[in-house]
Structure 1
């Protein structure tokens, strides 16, 4: 090791008492070591593992190793404390106050603490009174999510990124793995715990391992936006006042207070930092019911894109409750309560409501595109679907189609059975049960309402991994080339020069399957019977 290189010490404390459910500690620790071993800046890190940690071992390890980063992996019991081991190897709780007192004695060295354990946000808040950056979990976190977070976090640190960036890499790693727990990790900063208390969100410049000597400057705000009133109204459930404050912040930031609305160019210039802060407040304080992430998830589920037209925007309005029975609501008739539709607030249509309908649509698509550019993650696992619908074909309303069986199979994660049930209900809707397959006419005339129900059921219960609209985005991205599509969704495998279509029984019938892997049974029925690719062309429907 180069003697001139600053070494950042990482102390990993792990405990899995024998009288509690085992957690996958070995896998997490191995993955952290592998990440740092292959990191570009690996010579800057030294890792010390301490396993089966007893409460008294924590102090001794901190004294002996003097780490900059402390990582705890194990169990958490919320206000009860973090779970360590006693001398017999059984569970022993250490409460937040005791941990905070201990870390207060190590502020000279420790700059970041990661509590990769369920319900550890309570301890994180206490420790953050003394330590610059602390990460805790707001609720239970599964083993897979905890491991993905650790890998993403140390990938970021190993590349020389700040603690804040590493935290974001960790959250994104969970999201990319299609695990619906990317909002569970929470980052707390010592700078948050000022006169307004531990829950105040303050924007600060990122702190890197190399810049810890300038910690006195960490309270400088990177923006002049004051979120105090927005947070207060959201905490109190005053949704209308929070909506008005959100609009005021956006207009003030854009210099459009006198006009009262934004042009498309204004939308494209909105600050990512401000959008992220506003979104975080809305999402967390509405229990993930409102916020830009929710709206973006709905927009994308409808196939919304930069070139989307008024029909897609109108569908979005219907979905979030901005319109009712075909008519746009006035602002006074919006529902300012937690019973409103998902994505109902903030009412950003109010910022754009000047001009012709197509002008409003261009501004709204600019907002959605800006959210994507800012890497604001869409939330899709809230979508509620009416499991009965009347199918409309040739303007004749048929008997309601019952999607309860499909929903139950998807809830149970019985992917193969759900896939086959999807074919069965689609054939029933199209009146092709005896024929057993869909022809071009059936695909073109398939009712949009039924397509949406099938799609949303798959999206909701696969956490956005499977579904017709997921497949459609991939289909469009590969230029509607069925072989490239098959490669992307995992239906074709083999060497580059000799790829072969799988048989239906060779598909991956679990949630680790590639994105867009299901539904698939209809396509494989066509393939294995020699009918070609009729079924796949349902993805070319512009109204999916």
Structure 2
């Protein structure tokens, strides 16, 4: 059966429920996350390759099997006033670098992933539009409309970028966007350790930026990978 090997990659029995598939994916993605092997380039490369297989298997099984009893958190209440106090304080001060890091922290907190420090694709999906809008309003207000998720969304559309399951199309769109906001320079995605202009002179739409380093896939681009692993920041910006 064509799906058997995907079950094998996720180390579960054929015919497993969607809940079991999702849990297996989460467990394996945590075990094989490349950040766990930063000190060993050989093991890190093996982890990247393994995670590509895990991600591909999950996407196939998720799309081909019926969805049953999958709970979402879209209707989760959002306490924006408390969550955003520090972010507003930093933006008022003009401390955009720390505001950028605080935005990343807020997204991890909203998704319940602060301890892990990174987001799976489904975690990004679970972040409510209301929470994103609350963060976005602060960025828009204190940058005079230069920065924010909604600015990034508008640039995505203006560039003709497309959100696609087709990896090649998605990669082209992400590269085009990254080059426009200078997250990608000279054919290479800048990593979180590279110098980046975090002030009001930065390219419009280039902030917030730190959150992309919490999304599964950023290391593949920073290392020149163009396989199955994508940044998928559009899962966030297109919710606004």
TM-score, shorter chain, exceeding 0.5: yes
Residue 393 (structure 1) aligns with: none
Aligned residues: 150
Residue 40 (structure 1) aligns with: none
Pick aligned residue for 1:238 from 84, 87, 95: 95
CA drift of 1:252 comes to 0.9
Question: 4+ runs of 1 displaced by more than 6 Å?
Answer: none
CA drift of 1:346 comes to 0.5
Change (3 A) 1:257 1:222: closer
Pick aligned residue for 1:247 from 98, 104, 124: 104
CA drift of 1:331 comes to 2.2
CA displacement 1:403-455 (0-9 Å, x = unmatched): xxxxxxxxxxxxxxxxxxxxxxxxxxxxxxxxxxxxxxxxxxxxxxxxxxxxx
Residue 197 (structure 2) aligns with: 335
Structure with the higher fraction of residues in strand conformation: 1
Pick aligned residue for 2:79 from 214, 223, 232: 223
CA displacement 1:261-303 (0-9 Å, x = unmatched): 1111111111111101000000111011110111001111122
Alpha-carbon separation, structure 2, partners of 1:367 and 1:283: 16
TM-score, L = length of structure 1: 0.26
How is 1:387-406 mapped onto 2 (pairs within 5 angstroms)?
none
Residue 435 (structure 1) aligns with: none
Q: Higher Cα Rg: structure 1 or 2? A: 1
Alpha-carbon separation, structure 1, partners of 2:78 and 2:148: 22
Residue 350 (structure 1) aligns with: 213
How is 1:172-251 mapped onto 2 (pairs within 5 angstroms)?
223=79, 225-251=82-108
Residue 53 (structure 2) aligns with: none
Q: Which runs of 5+ in 2 are unaligned?
A: 1-76, 222-227
Alpha-carbon separation, structure 1, partners of 2:144 and 2:216: 28
Instruction: Report whether the alignment pairs 1:325 with 2:191.
Output: no
Alpha-carbon separation, structure 2, partners of 1:289 and 1:229: 20
User: Any idea what SS the aligned residue of 1:331 has?
Assistant: coil
Residue 313 (structure 1) aligns with: 174
User: Any idea what SS the aligned residue of 1:360 has?
Assistant: coil
Alpha-carbon separation, structure 2, partners of 1:356 and 1:336: 23
CA drift of 1:353 comes to 4.8
Residue 229 (structure 2) aligns with: 359
CA displacement 1:301-325 (0-9 Å, x = unmatched): 1222320411110111111111222
Q: Which stretch of the first structure deviates more once superposed, 243-252 or 258-267?
A: 258-267
CA displacement 1:197-249 (0-9 Å, x = unmatched): xxxxxxxxxxxxxxxxxxxxxxxx95264211100100111011101111111
Residue 129 (structure 2) aligns with: 272
Kept after mapping to 1: 8 A contact 2:97/2:198? yes
* Coordinate RMSD, CA, aligned: 1.9
CA displacement 1:65-121 (0-9 Å, x = unmatched): xxxxxxxxxxxxxxxxxxxxxxxxxxxxxxxxxxxxxxxxxxxxxxxxxxxxxxxxx
